[in-house]
């Protein structure tokens, strides 16, 4: 589900294929396709999820970052092999990134697993 969104344009406040996505709009959209409702913001999604150690990440887990502030302001979907999908910033499109890249390592806060998501592969390429 997450991989099917690759290439969709970034749109601040966006949460749909037709209008584009911001980071938490993307995660909300993907989980909604699996009939799971997430809070709207990255910060609220962090509070909603159960903490997961980096060594125990599974596809579909959410990754959280502090980019522009001291509070969580970015979220991504882990797809496996140290890789995640996210809606980066205005002017860009939904894309892959590597968690072990120095930029992302520096801003990484932690990971969370959405309650009730253990049965769904949210990183799957099917819409």
97, burial (CB in 10 Å: exposed 0-12, middle 13-18, buried 19+): middle
93: helix, coil or strand?
Answer: strand
C-beta separation of 105 from 99 below 8 A: yes
**74 labelled catalytic:** yes
Q: Is 86 assigned a catalytic role?
A: yes
* Continuous segment of H or E residues that includes residue 50: strand 50-52
Query: Catalytic one among 86, 107, 118, 119?
Result: 86
DSSP secondary structure of 58-69: -TT-EEEE-SSS
Q: What is the DSSP letter of 105?
A: H
Q: Note whether 77 and 26 are within 8 A (CB).
A: yes
Could you say which of 23, 107, 118, 119 is catalytic?
A: 23
Active-site residue, 118 included = no
Return the active site residues: 23, 74, 86
């Amino acid at each position: 589900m997450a991989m099917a969104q690759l290439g969709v344009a970034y749109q601040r406040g966006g949460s749909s294929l037709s209008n584009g996505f911001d980071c938490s709009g993307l995660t909300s959209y993907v989980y909604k396709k699996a009939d799971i409702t997430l809070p709207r913001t990255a910060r609220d999604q962090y509070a909603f999820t159960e903490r997961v150690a980096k060594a125990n990440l599974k596809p579909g887990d959410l990754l959280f970052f502090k980019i522009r502030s001291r509070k969580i302001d970015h979220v991504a979907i882990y797809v496996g092999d140290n890789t995640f999908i996210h809606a980066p910033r205005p002017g860009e499109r939904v894309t892959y990134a590597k968690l072990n890249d120095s930029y992302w390592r520096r801003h990484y806060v932690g990971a969370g697993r959405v309650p009730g998501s253990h049965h769904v592969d949210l990183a799957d390429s099917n819409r």
